Structure formats: C-alpha cells, structure tokens
A and B are shown apart, each in its own frame.
Chain A
Amino acid sequence: MSEPLLVVDDLHVTFQIRGGRALRAVDGVSFAVRAGETVGIVGESGSGKSVTALAILGLLPSRGVTTSGSILLNGQQLLGASEHDMQDVRGRRAAMVFQDPMTSLNPVLTVGRQLTETITRHLGVKREAARDRAAELLDRVGIPEPRQRLKNYPHQLSGGMRQRVMIAIALASDPALIIADEPTTALDVTIQAQVLELLREVVRESNTALVMITHDLGVIAGICESVNVMYSGRIVESNERHHLFASPRHHYTRGLLASVPRLDGAQGRLVPIPGSPSDVIAWSDGCAFAPRCPAASDACRGQAPELVISPEGGTLRCVQPAPLGMPVWSGR
C-alpha cells in the first residue's frame, strides 16, 4: 500500500468563548487518507466534522482559536504554516467543496471569471489559455454548452449546476486532495446522485484523495472506503465501510443506523437515540455519549474511554461495545 497523502494526527481545535471558557470543537482527531481513496467523516451537528475540514485547509480564524497536533500533506506540515504557504496549498494541492453552492460562489462575478481566477493564480497561464481550460473543466463536470455557461452568473444556474461549478473550481489545478463538506446536502436526490457519480469519477480518473464529510449514512455507504464516526469532537469509531455497517460496535453508530428509515424495506418502529446532540458531558468527565447511551454504566463516567485499535480492524472508543457480528438490521 502507498504512503498516505494526508495524515491528521491528534488534531485539537479549541474556541475561546465569552467568559474565558473554551470549547473543544475538535478533541484529538487522527486519520489518514491515501491517493485514490475516499474517507468519510460522519456525525451530527456540532460533532466537529466541519471544523476538522476547515483546520486542514487553514481556514479557521486566527483570533480566539487554538490548534495543536499535526496535519501532514505529502510530508509537509500544514498546521502553523504561513498564510503565504497555505494559499499555495489551497487550490493547487488541496481544494474544498462546500455545502451551499449559492453562498460559496461570488454572486457578482461570472462563473468564468471565478474559474479563470483560480487557474491563472495557481497555474500561471495567460487569460486565453485559462478560458480554454475553464471551458474544459465545465465540460468535464458535465455542464452542457460550457463556453456559454462561462458568461453566466451563479444565480442563472440551478443548484446542481452551481455545485458542479464548485467542483470544477476545486478541480482547476488538479489537486491531490479534495475535501467535500456536505457537498450534496442542499441538492435534490436525483441531482445528488449526479454529483456523487461525478465525485466517484474524479477519484477514479485522477487518483484524487477525497475526504467526504456528511451526516448522511447512505451517502457514506455508497462512496467511502473507510468511515470515521465523530461525536462531540472525537472519533468514536472507525472502520472499513463493510465492517462498519455490518457490525457497528459503538452504541452511537448503532443508534444512528437504527434511527434512520430505510428505503428498501419497512423495519418496524424506528429506535431513536434519546435526548439530543447537545446532551453531552465533557470528555474529561467520561464518555460524552453516556447521557444518551443505552448501555452506559458507572464505568462510562469519571474517565473518558480511549480510542483503541480493535484486533478485528478499525478503532473504537467504548468500554462496553456491542459484541462483534451484531448488525443493526437483520437482513432485508
């Protein structure tokens, strides 16, 4: 197996909030991604998945935010790198696709201008050549009549088209790493299917490493080779996708799977996770999921469980995990 392209090791991101308190949004996250591999990060609102993405690309504000740990992209340390160096990393070697294509495109510039800006900045080519390259990119992401579309403003495009433009901008300098933060959440299902297909194609053809951040377990199941489940700033379980879905061991992973209705069959009454994602205790006081966990006992409080590598593969942060080989759903 090849060397990982991106290695995130023990990443911490802490926000200083009013009254001198600190919020640990990301609390010791580690994972690695190889070229041509798709790694998923799944979690609910507030789990720290988006902050992890922003930290990797150095997009967090500098004031009131402290980061520690290590983020290596092809051996280069990104954490603490200068803004000048990061500008070179972003766009050229790593790119990001955001959730909402309406707010992440500039409404007063044409699509062509936004694309050529990226191309001239990172590839150092002349404007004419940049326009050709821009049209090529739009064509590649499946936009019909790319030359005409270059003259359009974002509001003239549909949601799915805008997301394709975002992906085209991300692809402009052929980055080795793409981070996609809920790239299909704002889209309709048929358009979501188109965009996911496009991302699969990019990974296959360009051997790009893709980090897919989403709350949708269905999207994860279809596109990611390995999955990290985050809860309250920490990874609670990670595994290769077939193992994770066939035999989830953390009670949060199991709870998530049991609470979503499935399209391919009625599974009787849904089993919700009680409480809400805000019912957490600090990791320093025990397992953050304990207040909502059906299997919580005294052992779960007082001391946070460590993330351990299980002999069967994957990692797990739970003192009383579900036994191996217990799927949440029994057959179809």
Chain B
Amino acid sequence: MLQVRNLQVHFPIKKGLVFDRTIGAVRAVDGVDLTIPRSTTLGLVGESGCGKSTVGKAILRLVPLTAGTVTFDNLELSALQNEEMRKARRHVQMIFQDPYASLNPRQNVESIITEPIRTHQLRTGAAVHQRVNELLDSVGLPRGAAGRYPHEFSGGQRQRIGIARALAAEPDLIIADEPVSALDVSIQAQVINLLADLQEQLGLTYLLISHDLAVVRHISDTVAVMYLGAVVETAPAEALYTNPRHPYTLALLSAVPVPDPVVEDSRHRMVLQGDLPSPSNPPSGCRFHTRCVYAQNRCEQDRPVLRELAPGHQVACHFAEEIAVSISATRDGDVVL
C-alpha cells in the first residue's frame, strides 16, 4: 500500500549568472496526501500545470522532495539513499505518456525489455529469453516482436512495449502518467483493457495520472482531483462522479464533452472564467477562489484543508455543504452530467 503524506515539491526560480540567487519558487506540489490500498487504482486528475505529473515523479524520487514522506509497504522511499532507492524502483515502475519518446530507437524490443531484468538480476541465462516471451504474451504482442525496433510499431503497440518494460521488473505499483493520451481513440480502449487485465492477473496497484476524466472514471477505484499543487477533493470514483462536492470538480466535470447529443443538449454547463493562476505566485487563501463562482471573503484569507464529508469523501472547501444545498435548490437532480 502506498502512502504519501504532506508531499511538497518546490522548484527554485534562480537569477544571476555568477551567484545563483533564489528569488522564488514554483510550488508545483504543495502538501499532497494520497493513500492507495494494494491492488486498487487511484486516479489523479487535474489540468496541465496542476502538479499531477510531479507527484508521480516525486514518488519515484525522479525529482527532489522539498518535504513530506512517501511510504510503500513499510518502506519509506523518501528516506532512502540513492543506491537503496535504485533497488526499490524494482517495486515501483512507470509508464510514460509518449510512446515515441520513451523508447530508445536504437534498442530492439528484447533489449528494452531485458534491461530491467538484468539491472535487478531477476533472471539469468536462458530464463531471460523465456521471460521476454512471457512478457510479450501478457501485453498481447507477437513473440516475433523481440528482434524488432520501436519505429516498426504503431503507437498502441509501442505503449504495449512500454508496459512490458514496466512489468519486467515485477513491480507492485505502477505509475502510469497519461498512458493513453497520445493514442488514437480506437486504440485507447485496447490499452485501457490491457491495464485492467494485468491488474486482475498480477494484483498490481496503479497510480493513474490523467487529464481525461472519462478514462479515470472507467478504471479507478478512488479519484483525487488536483488544483494548483494540492488535492481539492478525493472520493471513491462513483461518489466523486455522481456527487461532486468541490466547485472545481463540478466545473471540471461539466466541461467534459459527452459523445451523446441528447446529454449535451440538456446539460447544465458551469464554464469557468479565466485561466489557471501561476504556481509561482498562487492566490492567497483558497487557490481556486479567483475562478470560483461561490467564492466569499473567507476564501481569500483562509486556505481550506481537506475534511471528510462522507466516509472516504474529502473536500477542501469552506462552503461545500452550502453549495450542495444551493445547487439542489436551483436545479432538479443531475447537476453536471
């Protein structure tokens, strides 16, 4: 089980050629708590710049942590030395967004997949080759693919190679950062189904980072919504989509187009004004108050913390209850979908 507590990642903004003066910081991740029970999927959603990818990288220590702890199965990843961390990465693997950029074009598929096996000394001799065949089978690629190079494959097949590479280390947790965003619509479903099958067969735990709320609903058990470096709402998937409580979640859900004209014509849209503020100079108080239609004076001063409204359903909003009442009073039933 993965536990992330008060995770903070600040990137310094520097100025000056000779003396690096730090003149500020981009607060990419600013106090994030996440819990992912074993063999479940947590969907981390948010718009570009909200810090969701940085959370994924910070868990693997691919970026330095400013503060906070990351614990995986009683092993505190955030406290490990470099060499220990390198070994620990066997348990936590990553699948990247761009299947064109994340595979070395000069390595053939066998070499790509065997690299984690050799690095972590999981198999030796003929067993390595045997393992490659097993992995190709499990991601639905022909065994003949082993001798070929990434450019010979389509986007969907490349993503399968990336998944096979992640599986080669026999991980418990997989961090998938936008795994289907770069793929054609008809191919996305193939990869989504493959990820679901692998979870069932191998008992994998997933952290799925995505901007696509429909994909996240489809495969997540729990969903956390991020805005400007912090989680604003987290809930079991069904509860989050049927009963969203944070105004940002409401706006986000109402903005996603649904491929059904009947639904599209009857929806209540909550179009947000303006753009995402800069994470180097975040608004005071509640970070969403500059774009929130329900914002009041208190929101400019007090930064709301996550509080539990229902079992497992946490929201960082001072007025979540009042907003729910005002919405149910003005509209009948289905709010955003």
Contact = CB atoms under 8 A, between A and B. Distances in A.
A44 B185 contact: yes
Contacts of B276: 158, 188
Interface of B: 47-48, 154-157, 184-190, 192-193, 196, 211, 213-215, 217-218, 241, 251-264, 269, 271-272, 274-276, 337
Given A218-B258, A260-B214, 7 more contacts: A188-B211, A192-B257, A215-B185, A221-B259, A259-B188, A272-B187, A332-B263
B259 A218 contact: yes
A266 interface: yes
6 tightest CB-CB pairs across the interface, nearest first?
A218-B257, A272-B189, A217-B259, A259-B189, A193-B255, A261-B218
B183 to A, nearest CB: 9
Contacts of A188: 47-48, 211, 276
Interface of A: 44-45, 144, 158-161, 188-194, 196-197, 215-222, 241-242, 245-246, 255-264, 266, 269-274, 276-278, 329, 332
Given A190-B251, A256-B185, A276-B184, A262 B156 contact: no
A264 B260 CA distance: 10
A217 B218 CA distance: 17
A273 B186 contact: yes
Given A188-B211, A262-B258, A263-B213, A45 B184 contact: yes
Given A215-B184, A269-B193, A270-B192, A189 B255 contact: yes
A255 to B, nearest CB: 6
Contacts of B217: 261, 263, 266
Nearest to B47: A188
A111 B250 CA distance: 33
A189 B189 contact: no
A257 B218 CA distance: 15
B214 A261 contact: yes
A255 B186 contact: yes
Contacts of B213: 189, 263
Contacts of A255: 186
Nearest to A267: B218
Contact of A194 (B186, B254, B263, B271): B271
